[in-house]
Structure 1
Amino acid sequence: MSLTSGPGRVAVVANAADGWPPAARSSAVLSEIRGLRDLGFDPFELDLRAFVDRPADLDAVLDSVPTLWVRGGNTFVLASRLEQCGAGDAISSRVRGGSLVFAGYSAGACIAQTSLHGIELADDPAEVRIATGGEVTGNGLGLVDLAFVPHYRSILDDLGAGPSMVAGYERDNVPHVTLTDEQVYLVDSDRAERI
């Protein structure tokens, strides 16, 4: 919470769950909103599906919040949604400019990377066409110069993708950080650390 200006408005992006059944997606959104509200924030869902071909409206929403919370799901589905509404550059420029705090977990953390290479071991790119009707993109937001391996050695890594991702990143000399479900990767100005 120290990176935010304190509890206030926070936009919750749950589009990584767009490939889920509607009831499961709604439950996931509600869970995020409840958790953030319990911490004192004023959360609302920023559903990127509503902003396709509406960049000015998306800009207005992003300018009205200090914090963006991006939940997990499928990283490629999330990337497709960001591309469909042009949110990637809008979010990245605000984060770099210091007017927006970006926070997320699982797919929400992985989307901060420059490249999504390696994530296909955990998230199925084929879900993109079904969930969004769009194309698969291998581009993230470019907020960090490394790759994340989320849910490392966790029961949430039901495919056992973590060790394979690490092996691939090591083979390809890709800087990476493993994150257990209890860890975060914090970037604040020039400081970056796993906590």
Structure 2
Amino acid sequence: MFDLMRGERRVGIVANALDFIPDSARRRYEETVYSPLRELSDLGAEPEYLDLRRHFGNPGALEQALREIDLVWVLGGNSFLLRRAMRQSGFDDLIPGLLEEDRIVYGGFSAGAVVATGTLKGIDLMDDPHELAEGYDPPVLWHGLGLVDFSIVPHYRSDHGEADAAEKAVRFFEENSLPFQAIRDGDAIIVEDGATSLFAR
């Protein structure tokens, strides 16, 4: 992903898909299991968290924050909660223009990849559309960012707790003749200059 960046390696980590989990549990997980800050730092990046909740109702401040980073890295969790955060902060209005300017790179995994698509229909077989956290609007948003013209099913045939749900989502897309790409953990979809490529592990 660093090859796609045009400037420095400043990364904003968006973790709002995990806002339904108490902060104390998230801190323990980061300290003992997985830290995106540590991982990205080890790769030579300059990461910091970009909490979209701090920009709810204030897209101007979010735009300024986005213009100060080179990569926005969006973590997994609940895709529908993440989509709400992107709507309430104005992220969904801002990111297409910044990508068009080639000002920023969008990357992520699991929920972070799912919301880049045109629709979240079918993903309700994997994530609870009604899961909320404090400060979030209840209405479910079914449309994604529209950065790609197909749906993405993460954790497909992977050693992951949602692998069975991913199979159900794949069947949904197949039975409804909807365009999709199922990816295993470790696979990557890259969009550059209008061309889409799949890199399998």
Distance in 1 of aligned mates of 2:139 and 2:28: 26
Cross-structure match for 1:22: 23
Per-residue CA deviations over 1:95-146 (Å, capped at 9, x if unaligned) read 2332110000000000100111110011011213667243211121110000
Match of 1:100 in 2: 104
CA distance in 2, matches of 1:60, 1:34: 25
Relative to 1, partners in 2 of residues 1:37 and 1:7: Cα closer, same or farther, differing over 3 Å?
farther
Question: What fraction of aligned residue pairs are identical, expressed as a percent?
Answer: 36
Give the superposition deviation at 1:161. 1.0
Look up the equivalent residue of 1:125 and give its one-letter code. Answer: P
Question: After the TM superposition, which of the residue ranges 177-186 and 87-96 deviates more from structure 2?
Answer: 87-96
Q: Identify which of 160, 172, 175 aligns with 2:176.
A: 172
Residue in structure 2 matched with residue 50 of structure 1 by the alignment: 54
Decide which of 148, 160, 164 is 1:144's aligned counterpart. 148
Runs of 4+ displaced beyond 4 Å: 27-30
**AA in 2 matched with 1:16:** A
TM-score, normalised to structure 1's length?
Answer: 0.93
Deviation at 1:27, TM superposition (A): 4.8
Query: What RMSD over aligned residues (CA atoms) do the two structures have, in Å?
Result: 1.8
Residue 192 in structure 1 maps to residue 193 in structure 2:
no
Specify whether residues 115 and 121 from structure 1 end up closer, same or farther in structure 2 by C-alpha distance, changes over 3 A only.
same
| 8 Å CA contact 2:155, 2:162 repeated in 1 | no
Question: Partners in 2 of 1:43 and 1:6 — Cα distance?
Answer: 14
Paired residue secondary structure (1:132): coil
Paired AA for residue 187 in structure 2: Q
Partner of residue 88 from structure 1, selected from 72, 92, 99: 92
Higher mean C-alpha deviation, range 82-91 or range 151-160: 151-160
- Within a 5 Å distance, the mapping from 1:148-167 to structure 2 comes to 148-158=152-162, 160-167=164-171
Of 12, 32, 37, the match for 1:33: 37
Task: Report how many residues are paired.
Answer: 195
Distance 1:132 1:126, change over 3 A: same
State the TM-score, normalizing by the size of structure 2.
0.90
Q: 1:59 aligns with which of 28, 41, 63?
A: 63
Deviations 1:142-191 (A, max 9, x none): 10000111011122244611111111111111111111111000111122
Q: Deviations over 1:1-55 (max 9, x none)?
A: 2111365111100000001121233356671111101100000100001001211
CA contact (8 A) 1:77 1:131 kept: no
For structure 2, which runs of at least 5 residues remain unmatched after alignment? none
Q: What amino acid is the match of 1:8?
A: R
